[in-house]
Structure 1
Amino acid sequence: MKKIYMIRHCEAEGQPFEARLTERGFRQAVELTEFFSTIKIDRIISSPFKRAIQSIQPLAMRLQIAIVEEPRLTERVLSNTNLPDWLEKLRATFDDLELKFEGGESSQEAMQRIVGVVEEVFDGETENTIIVTHGNLLSLLLKYFNKDFGFDEWQNLSNPDVFLLKNENNSVTFERVWI
């Protein structure tokens, strides 16, 4: 049975590509390392965003596994314009997966990016893989496997958060494993 541990990055200073982890976020990255101390990991794939890389660096160093940066794991862009009501617009994109705002991508487009990465990992050779990404993209992946996962579940994600995806006989299930 193949397993993928999906990680939402630790607490960060902001949303831009170069946003670093906060002091608390760096402590959380160490907690992630402890969390995975008894779990065999074969591969680590991460969004190239600084906060994602910093979230998994301590574990990668401990395991001596190179972090593979994957551009398809970057956070979804809702719009390239300032949306004062962005939260309500984001909520709407969980109900209408094709809804798209200026300069952004639809939920469906973003979902296809991350699903492609997950399918490649499940089709690959490794048994236990970690994928580090962002909250909205992670939520869309979970919605792909369970249509009831939506805006409220996205709001209840933590930084960090960890979900375990299992692929048994081409059937994918997931559970939240971060306490």
Structure 2
Amino acid sequence: MIKKIIYVVRHCKAVGQPSESPLTEEGLKQSRYLVEFFSNKNIERIISSPFLRAIESVEPLSNNKNVKIEIDERLSERILSTTDLPDWYGKLKDTFKHKHLKFEGGESSNEAANRILNVVDDVFKSKIENTLIVTHGNIMSLLLNHYNDKFGFDGWNNLSNPDVFQLILIKNEVHMERIWR
């Protein structure tokens, strides 16, 4: 029986939120630690958000495993709004309860979740057994919420940078586990 594994990685600590924000010095150290963390795991494919902080998080691992990083726009962080929301934290919390809720220029939780779920579905349908995807906290939380409805706003709030979950597909059933310690 073929078992498929997807390692879902939240990027390491970064300087800011814009797509071009690089990793901090601590984030660069964390990216090197990811190499050690995944040293005993078979990684056949790496797919990353196009955001610099995501790419920099897995570059050392990509080099170590000799696996090219594929960029997938669907792994970009969710856009809550294109306007400044001084109360963004409360508004984000509301979007975990009301998944169709969206703000000016932004995506609903459902829209953002569908993007990352399409990536995961494509990976599970592929012939490759061990894939790593690197993305961002909000969209990652929406993915994890799909497989465990108890993983909501508080789950997002308790993610670390980096963080790692694994999704294991066995007989058309997905099992989710946090493996980052």
User: Which of the five TM-score ranges fits, normalised by the shorter chain?
Assistant: over 0.9
Distance (Å, rounded) in 2 between the aligned partners of 1:100 and 1:147: 20
Residue number among 138, 141, 154 corresponding to 2:140 in the alignment? 138
3-state SS, counterpart of residue 90 of structure 2:
helix
Residue number among 103, 121, 124 corresponding to 1:122 in the alignment? 124
Shift of residue 45, structure 1, vs aligned partner: 0.3
Which contiguous aligned blocks of 4+ residues in structure 1 show a shift greater than 4 angstroms?
A: none
1:77 aligned residue: 79
2:70 aligned residue: 68
Which residues of 2 match residues 1-179 of structure 1 at below 5 A? 1-179=3-181
Which structure 2 segments of 5+ residues have no match? none
Distance (Å, rounded) in 2 between the aligned partners of 1:146 and 1:60: 29
Distance (Å, rounded) in 2 between the aligned partners of 1:131 and 1:140: 14
Distance (Å, rounded) in 1 between the aligned partners of 2:144 and 2:13: 21
* CA RMSD, Structure 1 to Structure 2 (Å): 0.4
Q: Percent identity?
A: 56
Shift of residue 160, structure 1, vs aligned partner: 0.1
Number of residue pairs the alignment of both structures matches: 179
TM-score (norm 2): 0.98
Distance (Å, rounded) in 2 between the aligned partners of 1:41 and 1:139: 22
Q: Which digits, 9 at most, give the CA deviation of each residue in 1:85-141, with x for residues without a partner?
A: 000000000000000000000000000000000000000011000000000000000
Which structure 1 segments of 5+ residues have no match? none
TM-score (norm 1): 0.99
Shift of residue 146, structure 1, vs aligned partner: 1.1
Q: Which digits, 9 at most, give the CA deviation of each residue in 1:137-165, with x for residues without a partner?
A: 00000011111111011000000000000
Distance (Å, rounded) in 1 between the aligned partners of 2:96 and 2:161: 20
Shift of residue 173, structure 1, vs aligned partner: 1.1
Shift of residue 28, structure 1, vs aligned partner: 0.2
3-state SS, counterpart of residue 132 of structure 2:
strand
3-state SS, counterpart of residue 119 of structure 2:
helix
Distance (Å, rounded) in 2 between the aligned partners of 1:19 and 1:44: 20
